[in-house]
Amino acid sequence: MTDYHFDPGGFFQFDLAHGRVRTRGGARVIVLAENVLAPLIMTAVQNGDLTAIRTLGSQLGAIVGQSLPGAANTLSPQLVLSHAGAVMSLYGWGRLKLEQWGGALVLVVEGLPPLDEDNLAVAALLGGLFSTLCSAEVACVPIARTTKYIMVDPRIAEQVWAWSKSGDNLATIASKLSSPEAA
Amino acid sequence: MSTAQIDRLESLLSRIQENREKPRPARQTQIEAQIEAHIEASRPAMVAPAVLAPATPANPAREPLMPTPADVTGRDAMRPVAGSIDRIDRIEREAPRPVAVPIERERATITEERVHLPDRVSVPQRPAANRSMPEPRSSREPAFSDASTAGARKGLRDRTATPLEMAVEGELNRPAQPEPIMAPKPARAPTGQTEEQMPAAHVAMQASTEPIAPLSIEAEPVAEMGRPIAQVMSKHTMELDTTFGAMLKRSLSLRPH
């Protein structure tokens, strides 16, 4: 399983003659400066509509799923994170890591450009990515003042977000969560 | 005067008196009238007051011997004579002003312009014979830029001669100009055609010093890159014992307690 590495070679096709950039799958993309993207994301956050960012995450998840040798749920976390992190890096969305706090999975994204203050845009991006990749509804709730996102059921996402906004750290939040099996 | 001369004059006067008393033929009277009219026409100082004089003749005694010019030429009596005399008088007054006067003024203007050249610029001196030549029209154009000079020059030309006369006079007064120095014709490949047989466009292109050619600007082709434009800086790995699906399922099952 560990032999399947993500191959980034030739991922982007720069057609300089026609001024187009396409991905391996044929989708056309546009390279944006971060100081251009930030105001667009700020506007989306202020309007409470992050659908476009979540859609972008879904597209990235589809790319990751196509690069994997099988269904993500059946593959090792290392392989899945390697491919997901590679696609995130290719698109410039920082470096992706995976942590496990108790029974909770926590995503870490480093090297992101300054976007919105609460990192809600990246949370929407990650939610769209892993929801598509794993064929399950996933909510990635940002932990305040960190670069970490806890992966939870969307139905408890508001509660976890409220804990995070109240100042609870990740260890506290993880301790407030318990699996039915543990109960 | 001697007595013999006095006697001779008296005899002549008596003969003249006798001739006047004789009846004259009409032909002789007409010839005398023509001579009289011609004499009067050649004496403007004496005729001009007659133009201004009233229609009634001042000397009725001369009336039979002084037929009007209308009788001689059949034209209007006094106006043509007065007009021609006035034109002759004007020509005599303007005769000292040749047509070349404006050209001389233009030449003076050009000389003043040449004085403004820098000191270190060496102006080739033209031969004395060439200095009297009229300048080409193109080189004289700046001198006409002065409105006052041009207006004065135009007035002089209008009064001196007609354009046709000026042109003819300019051609007659123009000295023989030296042949212009022609640039050597560029050597061309023998085509077996004379210049008349060649197309007009081809001949025109040869005549111009800089041939006109279309200028097309195209972007340079993109050079082949030695390494790919997109380059991966790093990648990370993670070692886990279980599947990603199992870990995600457990995380999604968490609930607040």
Q: In this predicted model, what pLDDT tens digit does every residue of B17-55 receive, in sequence order?
A: 888 777 767 777 788 788 888 777 766 554 444 444 444
The confidence band for A182, taking pLDDT boundaries of 50, 70 and 90, is low
Q: Does A92 touch chain B (CB under 8 A)?
A: no
Look at B65 and B252; give whichever has higher pLDDT: B252
- Structure confidence by residue, pLDDT tens digits, A99-117: 988 889 999 999 998 899 9
The confidence band for A55, taking pLDDT boundaries of 50, 70 and 90, is very high
pLDDT at position A43, please? 94
| φ/ψ (deg, to 5) at B187 | -70, 135
| φ/ψ (deg, to 5) at A6 | -75, 130
In whole angstroms, how far apart are CA A155 and each of B134, B154, B256? 105, 102, 11
The confidence band for B85, taking pLDDT boundaries of 50, 70 and 90, is very low
pLDDT at position A96, please? 94
Distance CA A129, CA A62 (A): 8
Residue indicated by tokens 């003659």 = A17
Question: Is the pLDDT reported for residue B205 higher than 60?
Answer: no
Look at B229 and A2; give whichever has higher pLDDT: B229
Look at B106 and B182; give whichever has higher pLDDT: B182
Residues from chain B that touch A100, judged by Cβ atoms under 8 A, are: 247
Torsion sign across C-alpha atoms A84, A85, A86, A91: positive
Residues A75, B243: C-beta atoms closer than 8 Å: yes
pLDDT mean over B144-160: 47
Look at A44 and B171; give whichever has higher pLDDT: A44
Task: Indicate the average pLDDT of chain A.
Answer: 91
pLDDT at position B257, please? 81
Question: Is the pLDDT reported for residue A63 higher than 90?
Answer: yes
> Residue A52: exposed, middle, or buried by beta-carbon count in 10 A (0-12, 13-18, 19+)?
middle
pTM over 0.90: no
Are the C-beta atoms of A1 and A76 separated by less than 8 Å? yes
Q: Choose from B227, B229, B231, B248 for mutation: most chain A CBs within 10 A.
A: B248
The confidence band for A66, taking pLDDT boundaries of 50, 70 and 90, is very high
For residue B123, give the DSSP letter. P
The confidence band for B74, taking pLDDT boundaries of 50, 70 and 90, is very low
Look at B7 and B138; give whichever has higher pLDDT: B7
- Structure confidence by residue, pLDDT tens digits, A117-169: 999 999 999 999 999 999 999 999 999 989 999 999 999 999 999 999 999 99
Question: Is the pLDDT reported for residue B236 higher than 50?
Answer: no
Q: Choose from B218, B233, B242, B254 for mutation: most chain A CBs within 10 A.
A: B254
Look at B13 and B152; give whichever has higher pLDDT: B13
Residues from chain B that touch A16, judged by Cβ atoms under 8 A, are: 222
Contacts of A4 (CB under 8 A, 6+ apart): A68, A69, A79
Distance CA B167, CA B198 (A): 37
The confidence band for B218, taking pLDDT boundaries of 50, 70 and 90, is low
Q: What is the DSSP string of A77-112?
A: HHHHHHHHHHHHHHTT--EEEEEEETTEEEEEEES-
Strand partners, A21: A14, A29
> Residue A37: exposed, middle, or buried by beta-carbon count in 10 A (0-12, 13-18, 19+)?
middle
Tokens of A9: 């070679």
Distance CA B195, CA B205 (A): 12
pLDDT mean over A40-68: 94
Task: Indicate the average pLDDT of chain B.
Answer: 58
Residues from chain A that touch B240, judged by Cβ atoms under 8 A, are: 76-78
Query: Nearest-CA residue of chain B relative to A152?
Result: B252
pLDDT mean over B100-105: 46
| Nearest residue to A110 (alpha-carbon basis) of A85, A128, A134 | A85
Look at B150 and B167; give whichever has higher pLDDT: B167
pLDDT over 70 percentage in chain B? 21
- Structure confidence by residue, pLDDT tens digits, B52-70: 444 444 444 444 455 444 4
Q: Does A35 touch chain B (CB under 8 A)?
A: no
